[in-house]
Amino acid sequence: MIVSILSKFILAPVVLSLLLPVVASGDEVNLYSARKEKLIKPLLDRFTQETGIEVNLVTGKADALLQRLQSEGRNTPADLLITTDAGRLHRAKAAGVTQTVESELLNKIVPGNYRDPQGHWFGLSLRARPILYVKGKVDPATLSSYEALTDPQWKGRICIRSSGNIYNQSLVASMIEANGLEATEAWAKSFVKQFARPPKGGDRDQIKAAAAGLCDIAVANTYYLAGMLKSKDQGQRQAAEKMGVFWPNQADRGAHVNISGAALIKTAKHKQAAIKLLEFLVGESAQAWYAETNGEYPVRSDVAAGETLQAWGKFSMDGINLSRLGELNPEALKLMDRAGWK
């Protein structure tokens, strides 16, 4: 049975040790997850059923979990970290809280560009960040690339979240890798002038704003759009149904994609059990579940995307090694600040 502990605050190591007792037998895994419980727990239940290894789950905000790991240091009970965005996984590696994983299975299944070159982290699922447009107000034939969103026709018509959001930071980092720093900064300075309003809220808020007529285009992760389409909230469903998906940059590098991924903690006390969980999460059944339930693309090519995602059509993905998104994150942040992206 999985013990689920929801926490919004950083607990002192002594308190956490009471919540997650350390068992030396290796028949359990202590998992810190930035994925919400409902988006990961069913898979963990299945893992326990198949292996007998119990998973003690701690969920929280991605940045708070990394701070927690750094605060706890060698006293952390955590064995494995699951978080969103390659940029955050790179931060965990840079902070020295992860270690290399040696697994032939992981190296075989997870494509090289979706894992750390030194084996510190591995992608578990893909989330694309395309251009979403209001059906009937935007002719998709007039769209082409992220770069082309600076065209005068889009002035005052774009909604996107703030520069503080790592998804946008990673998008800009991918553009630095593709186009260079100077060209990307010139693009960003023009891009911010196209905004329909100052950035605020999350990706769902950009979609709802577009559906409400505040803008005609939103840049957002497909994960959010898929979730809104399946929502029990009628307002979210109606907003999402007004949006079309356009895959940018199909004539060159492909649409920007990122990952949710996992890293083995440096001081993991249940290392082998944690690696088994990692390998399970890239297995065919787990990948199929991710694709259908979470609205994310499988990290492995031999597993089909869910029905909702298939309806948006096939597309070419940017083949950048996602480790570069983390490496270029500082430059992307400074560039966005200079461009006036609030």
Q: Do 140 and 235 lie in a common domain?
A: yes
Per-residue pLDDT at 13: 39
Task: Locate 266 and state its tokens.
Answer: 């440096």
Q: Do 183 and 324 lie in a common domain?
A: yes
Ranges of H-type helices in the chain? 13-19, 41-51, 62-72, 86-94, 104-109, 166-179, 181-191, 203-211, 222-229, 234-241, 271-281, 284-293, 307-310, 323-327, 329-338
Residue 61 within any structural domain of the chain: yes
Residue 310 within any structural domain of the chain: no
Average pLDDT score, the chain: 91
pLDDT per residue over 143-160, tens digit each? 999 999 999 999 999 999
Residue 296 within any structural domain of the chain: yes
Residue 123 within any structural domain of the chain: yes
Q: Do 196 and 79 lie in a common domain?
A: no
Q: Do 7 and 101 lie in a common domain?
A: yes
pLDDT per residue over 193-207, tens digit each? 999 999 999 999 999
User: Helix crossing, 329-338 with 181-191: angle to 10°?
Assistant: 40
**Tally of structural domains, the chain:** 2
**In what helix (H) or strand (E) does residue 133 lie, and over which residues does it extend?**
strand 131-134
Q: Do 119 and 133 lie in a common domain?
A: no
CA separation for the pair 227, 237 (Å, rounded): 9
Residue 275 within any structural domain of the chain: yes
Q: Do 145 and 289 lie in a common domain?
A: no
Q: Do 29 and 157 lie in a common domain?
A: no
Q: Is 111 left (phi over 0), alpha (psi -120 to 50) or beta?
A: beta
Q: Do 121 and 132 lie in a common domain?
A: no
Q: Please check if 223 is assigned to a binding site.
A: yes
Greatest distance between any 2 Cα atoms in the chain:
63
Per-residue pLDDT at 306: 86
Q: Do 8 and 115 lie in a common domain?
A: yes
Residue 297 within any structural domain of the chain: yes
Q: Do 133 and 228 lie in a common domain?
A: yes
Residue 251 within any structural domain of the chain: yes
Q: Do 214 and 65 lie in a common domain?
A: no
Q: Do 293 and 235 lie in a common domain?
A: no
Q: Which amino acid is at 130?
A: P
Q: Which domain holds residue 47?
A: 3-127+258-304
Residue 311 within any structural domain of the chain: no
* CATH assignment of the domain containing 171: 3.40.190.10
Per-residue pLDDT at 35: 85
Q: Which amino acid is at 105?
A: L
The pTM (predicted TM-score) of the whole model is 0.88
User: Helix crossing, 222-229 with 203-211: angle to 10°?
Assistant: 60
